[in-house]
């Protein structure tokens, strides 16, 4: 089955939200702080990135192949860097160092 995430982006936030316990676990285990650089692959509408950035002031990046998802993401987290890219290839990410690269509920859609 093929999903149109540009369409799904219109209702995505109505059915998905960040799990605060998971976010706090990620922050604690990865020791994320205001000097950290964090990348989420398959970021969708940035439910997790937004909370990580709010709690830590880290520099946050998101990659998603859906322009609709990224448009929503840009509205929600204006300080983040977003890249429209195929998450399997990651060909558009500049050479950068990240303290944490993670995905949430992503691999099942590849």
pLDDT at 108: 45
**98 domain-assigned:** yes
**37 domain-assigned:** yes
What is the reported pTM? Answer: 0.83
CATH assignment at residue 44: 3.40.50.150
Q: Cα–Cα distance between 46 and 26 in angstroms, integer? A: 15
Domain tally, the chain? 1
Tell me the pLDDT tens digit for each residue of 24-51: 999 999 999 999 999 999 998 888 999 9
**55 domain-assigned:** yes
**4 domain-assigned:** no
With a cut of 50, list the residues of the chain below it in pLDDT. 107-109
**27 domain-assigned:** yes
pLDDT at 1: 60
**69 domain-assigned:** yes
By residue range, what is the domain housing residue 99?
Answer: 20-109
**104 domain-assigned:** yes
pLDDT at 41: 93
Q: Cα–Cα distance between 21 and 23 in angstroms, integer? A: 5
**12 domain-assigned:** no
């Amino acid at each position: 089955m093929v999903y149109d995430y540009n369409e799904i982006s219109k209702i995505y936030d109505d059915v998905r939200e960040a799990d605060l316990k998971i976010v706090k676990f990620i922050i604690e285990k990865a020791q994320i702080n205001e000097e950290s650089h964090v990348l989420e692959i398959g970021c969708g509408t940035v439910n997790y990135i937004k909370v990580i950035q709010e709690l830590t002031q880290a520099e946050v990046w998101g990659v998603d192949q859906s322009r609709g998802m990224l448009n929503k993401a840009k509205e929600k987290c204006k300080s983040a860097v977003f890249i429209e890219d195929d998450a399997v290839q990651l060909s558009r990410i500049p050479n950068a160092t990240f303290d944490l690269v993670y995905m949430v509920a992503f691999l099942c859609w590849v």
